[in-house]
Structure 1
Amino acid sequence: MAETVRRIEVSGPQPYTVEVGSGLLTRAQIAQSQIALIHPEDLPARFVTRVQATLSPVVTVVVPARDDCKTMQVMAGVLSHLAAANLPRDGAVVGLGGGAATDLAGFVAASYLRGVAFYTMPTTLLGMVDAAVGGKTGVNLPEGKNLVGAFWPPRAVWCDTDTLETLSPEVFREGAAEAYKHGLISDPTLLRRVLDPEFRPGGALLASTLADAIAVKAAVVSRDLTEQGERAHLNFGHTLAHALEAVTHHRLPHGEAVGYGMHYAARLSRVMGGEDLTGHTLAFLRWQRPTPLPDLDFQAVNTYMVRDKKADSLGVRFVLLRDLAQPYLARVPEALLRQEFEGWQADARGLPETPRAQEGT
Structure 2
Amino acid sequence: MEKITITASKTYEVLTGSGLLPRAGAYIRQALGEKVRKICVVTDSNVAPLYSDALISSLEESGFVAVKFVFAAGEASKSLRTLSDLLEFLAQRQLTRSDALVALGGGVTGDLTGFAAASYLRGIPFVQVPTTLLAAVDSSVGGKTGVNLEAGKNLAGAFWQPSLVLFDTDTMATLSQDLLLDGAAEAIKAGAIADKELLSYIREKPDLKDPAVITHLSGRAIEIKRRVVQEDERDIGARQLLNFGHTLGHAIEKCSGFSVSHGHAVAIGMVIESRAALQFGWSREDCTAPLSEILKKFGFPLDCPYSASQLTQAALSDKKRQGDRLTLVIPVAQGDCQLKELPVSRLEEFIKAGLS
TM-score (normalizing by structure 2): 0.91
Give the letter for the 2:122 counterpart. Answer: R
Matching residue of 2:40: 36
Q: Is the 8 A contact 2:114 2:146 kept in 1?
A: yes
1:103-155 Cα offsets, whole Å, 9 max, x none, are 00100101111100010100000000110000000000010000000000000
Matching residue of 1:305: 315
Tell me: CA distance 1:293–1:82, structure 2 relative to 1, closer, same or farther (3 Å): farther
Asked if residue 327 in structure 1 is aligned to residue 325 in structure 2, the reply is no
Tell me: CA distance 1:289–1:335, structure 2 relative to 1, closer, same or farther (3 Å): farther
Asked if residue 133 in structure 1 is aligned to residue 141 in structure 2, the reply is yes
The Cα shift of 1:296 comes to 1.6
Matching residue of 1:98: 106
| Equivalent residue pairs, number | 342
Distance 2:146 2:57 in 1: 28
Greater Cα shift, 128-137 or 220-229: 220-229
Asked if residue 20 in structure 1 is aligned to residue 36 in structure 2, the reply is no
Distance 1:336 1:17 in 2: 42
Q: Is the 8 A contact 1:58 1:85 kept in 2?
A: no
Distance 1:176 1:34 in 2: 35
Distance 1:165 1:133 in 2: 22
Matching residue of 1:356: none
Asked if residue 11 in structure 1 is aligned to residue 7 in structure 2, the reply is yes
Asked if residue 272 in structure 1 is aligned to residue 276 in structure 2, the reply is no
Give the letter for the 1:228 counterpart. Answer: I
Distance 1:21 1:107 in 2: 26
Q: Is the 8 A contact 2:275 2:354 kept in 1?
A: yes
Tell me: CA distance 1:107–1:187, structure 2 relative to 1, closer, same or farther (3 Å): same
Give the letter for the 2:51 counterpart. Answer: F
The Cα shift of 1:66 comes to 2.8
The Cα shift of 1:203 comes to 3.8
Structure 1 spans left out of the alignment, 5+ residues? 347-361
1:263-292 Cα offsets, whole Å, 9 max, x none, are 111112212331210012211331343457
Give the letter for the 1:63 counterpart. Answer: F
1:241-273 Cα offsets, whole Å, 9 max, x none, are 011111111000000000001111111221233
1:297-332 Cα offsets, whole Å, 9 max, x none, are 322211121222221123212111222333222134
Matching residue of 1:189: 197
Matching residue of 2:122: 114
Distance 1:317 1:278 in 2: 20
Instruction: Tell me the secondary structure at the aligned position of residue 252 of structure 2.
Output: helix
TM-score (normalizing by structure 1): 0.89
Give the letter for the 1:52 counterpart. Answer: I
Residue in structure 1 matching 2:57, options 53, 56, 61: 53
The Cα shift of 1:171 comes to 1.4
Tell me: CA distance 1:198–1:338, structure 2 relative to 1, closer, same or farther (3 Å): closer
Q: Is the 8 A contact 1:273 1:322 kept in 2?
A: yes
Q: Is the 8 A contact 2:22 2:54 kept in 1?
A: yes
Asked if residue 213 in structure 1 is aligned to residue 217 in structure 2, the reply is no
Structure 2 spans left out of the alignment, 5+ residues? none
Give the letter for the 1:325 counterpart. Answer: G
1:59-110 Cα offsets, whole Å, 9 max, x none, are 2000121312210001100111111100111100100000111100100101
Tell me: CA distance 1:65–1:284, structure 2 relative to 1, closer, same or farther (3 Å): farther
Distance 1:85 1:147 in 2: 28
Greater Cα shift, 53-62 or 83-92: 53-62
Matching residue of 2:163: 155
The Cα shift of 1:206 comes to 2.2
User: Sequence identity of aligned pairs in percent?
Assistant: 35
Instruction: Tell me the secondary structure at the aligned position of residue 322 of structure 1.
Output: strand
The Cα shift of 1:197 comes to 4.0
The Cα shift of 1:219 comes to 1.2
1:167-194 Cα offsets, whole Å, 9 max, x none, are 1112111210000000010111111222
Q: Is the 8 A contact 2:134 2:186 kept in 1?
A: yes
Q: Is the 8 A contact 1:92 1:116 kept in 2?
A: yes
Give the letter for the 2:269 counterpart. Answer: G
